[in-house]
């Protein structure tokens, strides 16, 4: 479990968090949302001890990020993928880049090889294993960053707007892979995003406004309140927006709906007068 206990954080004079309390349990998929400057990246950096709270404690499975002796174990448990894939690559060849983390853990070469093989397969990067990292596309680089994090066998995978620099097909591919990883049941995902379709993938939405938790609930509860969603600077998912517009025109549709099939079912229900 991840726990924020009375966490305050400031960059010098700039106070970002004041007395935040938060628990994220194993197995959750949390979408972290909020306007630019609301504190999402700072929260992510507090999670893996890149930043240390000014006051209070961040506990990762009971390990305090203030405890320097726990730093390696915290960074192994919390894998972080940032927005810009170029800043996360450390080696010039794909498989060496993935092996970098496990090598630093001091694992034996057979174990490292097995982990590299496994994540190359999961991320569909096998054909690129010996490729130079500079030759990869943005989407492939971001998959490489995820592969590197997964090779550490993390408990928590934290993604800070990982698809915001990617084209729609790469974005879908990343999300397909995350869905697959989550469906296997042993990963907790914390996904910072502005994208409504990505928010819907989560089981829980936490919205930050000026460093305060302004909403904490399910995606269904979140999108049930479009005015609030817009205030957070987030769009409705396209199908949800269509449903919203049709309701405005007087159709008695259930709201919100996320899935095109669901909307079609709803329209059939109305048409047949059920
Ligand atoms: P988000 O990820 O939601 O855009 P951030 O966590 O990056 O928000 O930023 C939260 C606040 O902290 C913003 O007001 C931002 O300007 C400020 N901030 C972020 N990084 C720094 C820094 N290194 N030094 C000073 N202020 C910072």
Please state the domain extents for the chain: 2-223, 236-274
CA-proximal residue: ligand 1, atom 15 (nearest): 37
Phi, psi of 175 (to 5 degrees): -70, -35
pLDDT at 166: 86
**Residue ranges around ligand 1 (CB below 6 Å):** 11, 14, 16, 34, 36-42
Sign, CA dihedral 66-157-141-94, equals positive
DSSP state of 93: B
Q: Is 123 exposed, middle or buried (0-12, 13-18, 19+ CB in 10 A)?
A: buried
Q: How far apart are CA 164 and CA 139, in angstroms?
A: 10
Quote the CA–CA distance of 273 and 9 in Å, as a whole number.
56
The model's pTM? 0.93
Residue 33: Cβ-neighbour burial (10 angstroms; 0-12, 13-18, 19+)? buried
CA dist 98 → 45, 71, 85, 102, 113 (Å): 21, 20, 13, 8, 10
Quote the crossing angle between the two packed helices 94-104 and 109-122, to the nearest 10°: 130
- pLDDT at position 109: 95
Query: Whole-number mean pLDDT of the chain?
Result: 94
- In three-state form (DSSP H/G/I as H, E/B as E, the rest C), the secondary structure along 142-174 is HHHHHHHHHCCCCCEEEEECCCCCCCHHHHHHH
Predicted local distance difference test score (pLDDT) of residue 274 = 64
Distances (CA, A) of 126 to 34, 114, 132, 138, 262: 36, 13, 13, 17, 37
Cα(209) to centroid of ligand 1, in Å? 13
DSSP conformational letter for 127:
G
Q: Which residues of the chain have pLDDT under 50?
A: none
Distance between Cα 105 and ligand 1 center (Å): 31
- Pocket probe mutation, ligand 1, options 7, 11, 32, 214, max atoms within 8 Å of Cβ: 11
For ligand 1, pick from 7, 41, 83, 84 the residue to mutate: most ligand atoms within 8 Å of CB: 41
Distance of CA 208 from the midpoint of ligand 1 (Å)? 13
Q: How many Å apart are CA 203 and CA 109, to the nearest integer?
A: 37
User: What's the confidence (pLDDT) of residue 86?
Assistant: 87
CATH of domain 2-223: 3.40.50.300
Ligand 1 midpoint to CA 68 (Å): 24
- The rounded Å distance from CA 46 to ligand 1 centre is 12
Closest ligand 1 atom, residue 35 Cα: 3
Q: Output the pLDDT for position 269.
A: 87
Q: What's phi and psi for 116, nearest 5 deg?
A: -65, -45
Is residue 255 within 8 A of residue 224, CB to CB? The reply is yes
Atom index in ligand 1 nearest the CA of residue 42 equals 6
């Amino acid at each position: 479990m991840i726990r924020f206990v009375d966490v305050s954080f400031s960059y010098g004079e700039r106070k970002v968090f004041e007395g935040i309390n938060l628990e994220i349990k194993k197995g959750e998929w949390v979408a972290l949302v909020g306007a630019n400057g609301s504190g999402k990246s700072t929260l992510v950096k507090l999670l893996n001890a890149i930043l240390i709270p000014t006051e209070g404690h961040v506990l990762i499975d009971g390990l305090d990020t203030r405890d320097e002796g726990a730093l390696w174990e915290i960074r192994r448990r919390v894998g972080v993928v940032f927005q810009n894939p170029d800043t996360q690559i450390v080696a010039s060849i794909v498989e060496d880049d993935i092996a970098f983390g496990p090598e630093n853990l001091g694992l034996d070469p057979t174990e490292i090889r097995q982990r590299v093989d496994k994540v190359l397969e999961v991320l569909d990067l096998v054909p690129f294993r010996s490729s130079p990292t500079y030759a990869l596309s943005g989407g492939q680089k971001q998959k490489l960053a995820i592969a590197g994090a997964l090779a550490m066998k993390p408990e928590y995978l934290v993604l800070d707007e990982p698809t915001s620099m990617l084209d729609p097909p790469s974005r879908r591919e990343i999300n397909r892979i995350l869905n697959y990883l989550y469906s296997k049941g042993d990963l907790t995902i914390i996904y910072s995003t502005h994208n409504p379709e990505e928010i819907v993938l989560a089981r829980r939405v936490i919205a930050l406004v000026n460093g305060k938790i302004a909403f904490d609930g399910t995606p269904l509860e979140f999108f049930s309140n479009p005015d609030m969603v817009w205030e957070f600077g987030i769009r409705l998912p396209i199908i949800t927006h269509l449903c919203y517009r049709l309701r405005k025109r007087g159709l008695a549709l259930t709201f919100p709906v996320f899935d095109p099939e669901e909307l079609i079912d709803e329209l059939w229900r109305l048409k047949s007068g059920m």
